[in-house]
Amino acid sequence: MTKIGEWVEVCTSDAIAPEEAMRFSQGERSFAIIRSLEGNFFAIDGHCSHEKVHLADGIVDGNIIECPKHFGTFDYRTGEARALPACVDLRRYEIKVDSNVVFIKI
């Protein structure tokens, strides 16, 4: 069992292309792992705060990930809701890359 605050291995760093997102689930919880155009990794809650739709299917553009359902947007660096109908912020999680492996602190 993973404990709160533990680093968990997600994938190798080449598994996500720049400006793409990936779904990562741990038990009941699900996250969206995003790789920016510059190649940095970020992690936020997987589901949109408007309805329960996974953000990993959405478009990544600049610092924004857009929900595929009604196009609410979030700043994936902070989890902040940026455009309607999303108005509740998401949680962000720490990410580290170690020897080409991506880890999330959940």
**Binding to another protein by residue 58, rule CB under 8 A?**
yes
Q: Cis bond leading into 85, ω under 30°?
A: yes
Least distance to ligand FES, CB of residue 96, Å: 28
d(CA 78, CA 96): 16
Q: How far is the CB of 54 from another protein (least distance, A)?
A: 8
Residue 48 binding target from another protein, ligand FES, none, CB below 5 to 8 Å by type: ligand FES
Q: What's the min distance (Å) between Cβ of 41 and ligand FES?
A: 22
Question: What is each CA distance from 66 to 57, 88, 93, 104, in whole angstroms?
Answer: 9, 14, 18, 21
Site string for ligand FES, 18-47 (x = CB under 6 A): ------------------------------
Distance between CA atoms of 17 and 4, rounded to whole angstroms?
28
